[in-house]
Amino acid sequence: MQELPWRWGVQGKIFVIGGLGYLFDAYDIALNGFLMPLLGKEFDLSLSARGFVATANLVGMAVGAIVWGAIADRIGRKKAFSATLLIFALFSVLGALSPDYGIFLLFRFLAGVGLGGCIPVDYALVSEFSPKKYRGRILTALDLWWPIGVTLCGLASTALIPLDGNWRWMLATMVLPALLLFWVRRGVPESPVYLTKTGREAEAREVIDDLVERTGATPEPYAVPEPVRRETTGGVRAGVEQFRRLWSHSPRITSVAWLLFITIMLVYYAALTWMPSILKEEGYGDTASFTGTTLMSGVGIAGVLASTWLVDVVGRKRLIGFSAPVATAALVVFALVLDVRTPALVMIAVFGFLIQLTIPALYAYVSELYPTTLRASGFGWASSVSRISTGFAPMLFGSLMWPTLGLPLTFTVLGVVVVAAVLWMAVAAPETKGRELDADEVTEGPDPDPGPASAREEVPAP
């Protein structure tokens, strides 16, 4: 599987289908920031009450990331891959029809539960179909769908501002594409890596042989290793068991994954969800405030492209360690020059570029730290704890940090915790560039030397 040639008509299709689900995740989270000022006006909400829009959605995603990560590791990537978007689409429709703010928050939470499973499931599936020598770039390129989703959300939301009930239309725009993607996902094969690990050898061989034929690789004999048998549990017990296994596998690696996710995503979500409100409070109109956030995400597309190249040149750890602190510093400068529009918009763009250098490398890095049996749940737990922390952050940001500390000091505090997280990563976790994907143990110690070849490999153009 990991030695097959890359073909855009084979693994590339899975990359696109997985990426579209990731696009919806980005669109939905960005939508919180655009909904907050509009719902605040319609329901006469305070700043802290508006923060519940993002809190309900992100906490729902945290629950979904835990639940669907564990489910995907047990029932398979394919079934979980399809079900997440169906649940999201259903509750997005109901959210658009909400009669009051309380019901709206409930449906945003439930939509988040569905969509929260997309990232851990999608990353596990795409990584397990990707050839080893291209895997770093494929996983970082997957994050390209994120700024595209945020940018599309900004453009669509800006266009819908003149309509009556504009926030309802903003929710409704996602439903039909989500249902279409759900239908397309039904044709994605189950991961043969997952099938092998769960003892379904005949099914694994069928998928592998088909992939060998469709990629044009030379057929070779191969052995399917015996799976490691473990007792299985369901429901909450499954999540608890996976939690225990993650920390017993490696406390250092799991702590690094969690701290990186919490701190970096806290900075990003704070900027993403509150940027329209920050600009509006500074005197920007609805259209101008929405445009500022769209600028941040649009420039982020270039950041992802750069990250896709740099991740195999400088490595995951160096890229995260440089870009994350500098991105947060750009937010501090933004807060200091906020009353001057041109410099403020420039710093928004700088932050958008730098943070999208960081996040693709982070996602690729964490997904590579765990073996196959823990990959989806390991990523899911790291994602979920960050969603819980960032879920309550919008409420605290609007009710406590921004009013009490002011924007410059608030972003400075966030920068300090980011620096602490990357310093712990530097000493506690290995570099994964060039490492075998299915290594069941990660060596904790000096970074492995992957050799110069991995830095020279490139994903062929479509």
pLDDT digits (tens, 9 = 90+) for 55-103: 898 888 878 877 876 777 777 767 776 777 788 888 988 999 998 999 9
Q: How many residues does the chain have?
A: 462
Which residue, among 358, 366, 290, has the nearest Cα to 324 in the 3D structure?
Answer: 358
Give me the sign of the Cα torsion angle 450, 452, 453, 457: positive
Is residue 65 within 8 Å of residue 116, measured between CB atoms?
Answer: yes
Rounded to 10 deg, the angle between the 77-96 and 175-185 helix axes is 160
**Interatomic CA distance for residues 61 and 82, integer angstroms:** 16
State whether residue 30 is helix, strand or coil.
Answer: helix
Is residue 51 within 8 Å of residue 395, measured between CB atoms?
Answer: yes
**Interatomic CA distance for residues 14 and 130, integer angstroms:** 9
Which residue, among 310, 267, 7, has the nearest Cα to 129 in the 3D structure?
Answer: 7
Which residue, among 308, 294, 391, has the nearest Cα to 61 in the 3D structure?
Answer: 391
Taking the model in full, what pTM does it have? 0.76
What domains can be seen in the chain, in order of their start residue?
11-219+236-456 (1.20.1250.20)
Q: Tokens 């970082």: give the residue.
A: 140
**Interatomic CA distance for residues 36 and 55, integer angstroms:** 11
Q: What is the chain's pLDDT, residue by residue, as a tens digit (462 residues)? A: 778 898 988 889 889 888 887 788 888 888 999 999 889 888 888 877 888 888 898 888 878 877 876 777 777 767 776 777 788 888 988 999 998 999 999 999 999 888 877 766 777 778 888 887 787 778 777 878 889 999 999 999 999 988 888 899 998 888 878 887 778 777 778 888 778 878 889 999 999 999 999 999 989 888 887 776 655 444 556 667 778 888 988 899 999 999 999 999 989 988 888 899 889 888 888 888 898 889 999 999 999 899 988 988 888 999 999 999 999 999 999 999 998 989 999 999 999 999 999 998 898 888 788 887 787 778 878 877 887 777 777 777 777 788 888 899 999 999 999 999 999 999 998 888 766 655 444 444 333 333 333 332 333 333
Is residue 121 within 8 Å of residue 80, measured between CB atoms?
Answer: yes
Is residue 397 within 8 Å of residue 272, measured between CB atoms?
Answer: no
The beta-strand segments (E) located in 193-337 are none
Is residue 442 within 8 Å of residue 124, measured between CB atoms?
Answer: no
From the number of C-beta atoms within 10 Å of its C-beta (0-12, 13-18, 19+), residue 164 rates as exposed
